[in-house]
């Protein structure tokens, strides 16, 4: 009789725990949907509550959103430092510093994926990390480790990265640029060759149009003219409007600038910081949000717009005035002016 009582108690306990987990999972799914729709206040508040209560995926996603959001909302921008720490991190009474949830999962719980994502933030050459992240399904998270390996690794490592197919297709120009002979604006030339689908050696860096477009692709606004008279303008604009990595910008321009899609695309490319920045709008956690789903979401579109609208010059001011932007795309200027409104 006693054993039956204990068994019944255990069943009730485990049943209650399973029910609570089901409710938390449902709240998590709803918060992910809200985040993808662009609702930070609702989604992040719920994710924070779930993370504090021990929900693993909420902890992973929240930690990644904290560092990867390239277009912060007015809700996020309005948070004080303490409020942001309370929202995004582990909070314990009496603690001076709050740990990121990635650190909590990696260091206190031994979570394998958390360890990999934490390692991806370090400036260490680790080809094994690129492989491990790919095998874990977090392919977009290989971006930084790939750039670090290409920048600080050996010629042999760069060659191996290209040969093994471990590099994201849109990131190949970066590795090829560092693997090849040094040339003025070489990174922009490599990006242009990738878009044109030609050998970079065939591009003449002394050609004015090629040099201007290489500067624009390398560093964005102010480093090359955004001009429809450039021989490469249409091809580069069409790439922005059709490439998978730039789908959020293509969606924006196609929806809002029907009669000026190319001008909009080139303007957004320039304001975003050029090729190597425009390709990096990524799902914070592919385990939860596949890259394709993220790129097709309102969140990705508004993130792309905010990144362009709020881009800063080295002096700290806005990168370009609405009037300057309107000279190359009146439609893009209208979207950016609206986004800059308080």
Residue with tokens 């320039």: 270
SS3 318: strand
Q: Cα 312 vs. chain centroid, distance in angstroms? A: 18
Span 101-127, pLDDT tens digits: 999 999 999 999 999 999 999 999 999
Rounded to an integer, what distance in angstroms lies between the CA atom of residue 199 and that of residue 85?
48
- Where residue 2 falls among pLDDT bands split at 50, 70, 90? low
The answer to whether residues 245 and 265 belong to one domain is yes
The answer to whether residues 231 and 319 belong to one domain is yes
Flag whether 101 is in a domain. Answer: no
Does 42 or 13 have the greater pLDDT score? 42
The answer to whether residues 138 and 213 belong to one domain is no
The answer to whether residues 266 and 153 belong to one domain is no
- How many CA atoms does the CB half-sphere of 112 hold within 13 Å? 8
- pLDDT, the chain, mean: 92
148 C-beta neighbours (distance < 10 Å), count: 18
DSSP structure class, residue 288:
T
Rounded to an integer, what distance in angstroms lies between the CA atom of residue 307 and that of residue 268?
9
The pLDDT value recorded for residue 315 is 80
The answer to whether residues 11 and 80 belong to one domain is yes
Contacts of 325 (CB under 8 A, 6+ apart): 267, 271, 332, 333, 336
pLDDT at residue 14 above 70?
no
The number of folded domains in the chain is 3
54: domain range? 1-91
Flag whether 247 is in a domain. Answer: yes
DSSP for 23-70?
HHHHHHHHHHHHHHHT-HHHHHHHHHHHHHTT-HHHHHHHHHHHHH-S
Packed helices 40-52 and 2-37: angle between N→C axes, nearest 10 degrees: 150
The answer to whether residues 318 and 198 belong to one domain is yes
Label residue 72 exposed, middle or buried (CB < 10 Å: 0-12, 13-18, 19+): middle
The answer to whether residues 29 and 153 belong to one domain is no
Span 177-203, pLDDT tens digits: 999 888 889 999 999 999 999 999 999
Buried/exposed code over 91-108 (b: 16+ C-beta within 10 A; e: otherwise): eeeeeeebbbbbbbbbee
Contacts of 200 (CB under 8 A, 6+ apart): 176, 177, 180, 189, 190, 192, 193
pLDDT at residue 25 above 80?
yes
Residue with tokens 């914070």: 284
This prediction has a pTM of 0.89
Q: Cα 140 vs. chain centroid, distance in angstroms? A: 8
Flag whether 111 is in a domain. Answer: no
The pLDDT value recorded for residue 94 is 55
Flag whether 310 is in a domain. Answer: yes
> What percent of the chain lies above the pLDDT cut of 90?
81
Flag whether 285 is in a domain. Answer: yes
The answer to whether residues 1 and 128 belong to one domain is no
Span 266-293, pLDDT tens digits: 999 999 999 999 999 999 999 999 999 9
Flag whether 109 is in a domain. Answer: no
Does 57 or 91 have the greater pLDDT score? 57
The answer to whether residues 147 and 295 belong to one domain is no
The answer to whether residues 9 and 152 belong to one domain is no
The answer to whether residues 195 and 225 belong to one domain is yes
The answer to whether residues 75 and 150 belong to one domain is no
């Amino acid at each position: 009789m006693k054993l039956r009582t204990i068994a019944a108690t255990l069943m009730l306990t485990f049943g209650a725990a399973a029910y609570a987990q089901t409710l938390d999972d449902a709240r998590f799914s709803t918060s992910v949907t809200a985040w993808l729709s662009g609702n930070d206040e609702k989604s992040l508040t719920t994710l924070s509550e779930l993370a504090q209560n021990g929900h693993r995926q909420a902890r992973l996603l929240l930690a990644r959103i904290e560092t990867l959001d390239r277009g912060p909302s007015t809700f996020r921008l309005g948070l004080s430092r303490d409020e942001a720490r309370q929202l995004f991190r582990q909070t314990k009474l009496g603690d001076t510093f709050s740990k990121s949830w990635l650190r909590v999962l990696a260091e206190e719980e031994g979570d394998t994926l958390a360890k990999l994502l934490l390692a991806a933030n370090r400036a260490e050459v680790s080809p094994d990390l690129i492989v491990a992240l790919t095998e874990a399904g977090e392919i977009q998270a290989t971006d930084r480790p790939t750039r670090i390996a290409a920048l600080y690794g050996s010629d042999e490592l760069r060659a191996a990265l290209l040969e093994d197919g471990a590099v994201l297709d849109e990131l190949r120009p970066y590795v090829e640029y560092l693997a090849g002979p040094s040339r003025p604006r070489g990174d922009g030339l490599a990006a242009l060759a990738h878009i044109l689908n030609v050998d970079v050696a065939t591009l003449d860096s002394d050609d004015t149009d090629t040099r201007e477009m290489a500067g624009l692709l390398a560093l964005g606004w102010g480093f090359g003219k955004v001009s429809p008279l450039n021989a490469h303008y249409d091809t580069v604009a069409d790439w922005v409007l059709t490439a998978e990595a730039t789908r959020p910008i293509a969606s924006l321009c196609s929806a809002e600038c029907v009669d000026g899609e190319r001008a909009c695309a080139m303007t957004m490319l320039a304001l975003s910081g050029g090729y190597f920045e425009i390709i990096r709008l990524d799902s914070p956690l592919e385990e939860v949000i596949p890259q394709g789903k993220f790129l097709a979401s309102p969140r990705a579109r508004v993130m792309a717009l905010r990144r362009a609208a709020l881009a800063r010059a080295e002096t700290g001011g806005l990168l370009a005035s609405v009037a300057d932007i309107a000279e190359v795309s009146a439609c893009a200027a209208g979207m950016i002016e609206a986004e800059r409104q308080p």
